[in-house]
Copies of this chain bind each other. A is one copy, B any other.
């Protein structure tokens, strides 16, 4: 298996970084190939703009998705996007690893999604859900947060995390055709003991050992 881990945390020594390192170690230990895109370390540019295209379909007016299609067709996407797209198309498993910021990814990772999931390859036309451009790949979100699990219970104040992440799990990952595994969630991370954090790392490692047998979440099929 080939795995791409896209990681984003503003603190290089965070627990989120430990989840990333554990995944690299464990997946390599199992004989898989692993690439990591550490977005903060790379200084990744998250801002989608007309500068993302070395050649323009329409130099006067930027419809971002149409320029993506043109960039794919002509091989003229900006080099940083093409490099990430190559990794994405290479992988069988995509792991998005991040601290939850406002019930979603940090902006730097949102920008990776905005810029790298290009129309004309990943989505566009009839390419969505079961016909998406990333069909056959699997996606796994691993996130940490300060909040507690009971706040995201069915009757909790925020409602289920799966609903709060619908834009990401369904609207993004399942939309591209990937099979989306249940997220791995590190609850209340800043407030728990080192022992409790170690237990999380062990359960993450154990989970990574049996990913291949896991069932994906159920999401819509394209017609």
> Is A117 within 8 A of B102, CB to CB?
yes
A57 interface residue per 8 A CB criterion: no
A192 interface residue per 8 A CB criterion: no
Q: List 26 A-B contacts (CB under 8 A).
A: A10-B62, A10-B64, A11-B50, A11-B62, A11-B63, A46-B111, A47-B107, A48-B101, A48-B106, A102-B117, A102-B171, A102-B172, A102-B175, A103-B167, A104-B167, A104-B168, A105-B110, A107-B107, A107-B108, A107-B113, A129-B157, A157-B222, A164-B167, A164-B171, A165-B167, A167-B167
CA A165 to CA B163, docked complex, whole Å: 10
Which chain B residue shows the least CB distance to A60? B13
> Is A171 within 8 A of B107, CB to CB?
no
A84 interface residue per 8 A CB criterion: no
A75 interface residue per 8 A CB criterion: no
Which chain B residue shows the least CB distance to A11? B62
Q: Contacting A111 at CB < 8 Å: which of B49, B64, B103, B107?
A: B107
Chain B residues, Cβ within 8 Å of A158: 170-171, 220
